[in-house]
Homo-oligomer: A and B are copies of this chain.
Amino acid sequence: MIERVAILGTGLLGTSVGLALRAAGYRGELTGWNRGAAGAQAALAMKAVDTLVSDPLEAARGSQVTVLAVPIYATLDLMEKLAGVLGPEQLLTDVGSTKRVIAETGMRLYNQPERAAFLPGHPMAGKERGGAELGDANLFRGAVWLFTDDPQAQRTAGAAELVKSWREWVTAMGSKTIDLGPARHDELVAWVSHLPQFVATALSALLEDEVGDAPELRDVGGRALREMTRLGASPFSMWRDIAHTNTEAVEAALLALEQRLAYLRENLRTPVLREEFEQANRFRREG
């Protein structure tokens, strides 16, 4: 049913979407656009897209489904620009890491009579470094792909079919879909995604101050330290937008962890330490 897909932004996620669609059997067109020419050419060379265009609006205009795979503020910017370009038989979707602002914008500019459909999406997959070169057809395999669709959305029968079909392709790419509201989404990912990232950033920055000048001592930490700081390599360019569009939930999660660490610190020699380890063990009981 879907035969023409545009991918706007051929970084890690956009390139992986193209590769995963092909691996899942998608035979239609794949048009790509990227702000930087190198990333676009890399995606083309990897066959994540068939053709490149220099204008994102042109790419979207000719497609049934347009996937926005750029940072959040760039997503919002393209949503504004595409509102005047896309029609009621077209679907726009995204992969942004926060959903409240994007879903609000989607209901304001899309999902109304005579307008295109917008489906807010968020695949919980990524790597600590970005770029088309790291694109991976299996990136979404076994991952959760969240949707925060709005029951008030108004769509033509054709657009509703595109939404249904896109969700089937997401499943075909190997992801498990979960639906929830955008506010609940942002609160949840603050805990399970944003908090782990900011902790890894703070831990890595602190350790760079403490032992960064002695590489042989960094090696001492072994696998445990490597894992706990791997996300320290994550780029600011992506996380700035997340910090700006989910500030309150991230603040609350960070404050809660600061308090938990203080509680643990004050109880290193009391029976509370056992309770904290046992509570942590419970979180990993199925891991």
Complex CA–CA separation, A235 to B251 (angstroms): 30
Choice from B222, B227, B261, B286 contacting A198 with Cβ under 8 Å: B261
Of B210, B222, B283, which is within 8 A of A229 by CB? B283
Give the residue name and chain of the B residue nearest to A250 (CB).
B268
Contacts A258-B261, A268-B250, A280-B208 given: A221-B192 contact, CB under 8 Å?
Answer: yes
The answer to whether B211 and A228 have CB atoms under 8 Å apart is no
Query: Given A236-B277, A265-B251, do A196 and B221 touch, yes or no (CB 8 Å)?
Result: yes
Which residues of chain A from 144 to 182 have a CB within 8 Å of any chain B CB?
144, 146, 176, 178
Known: A203-B196, A229-B284, A273-B243. A208 touches B279 (CB 8 A): yes
Partner of A243 from B193, B201, B206, B269 at Cβ < 8 Å: B269
- A188 on the B face (CB < 8 A): yes
18 pairs of residues in contact across A and B, judged by CB atoms under 8 Å: A143-B222, A188-B211, A188-B217, A191-B210, A193-B220, A196-B225, A196-B228, A201-B264, A205-B260, A205-B276, A205-B277, A206-B257, A209-B279, A229-B284, A229-B287, A232-B287, A235-B281, A261-B261
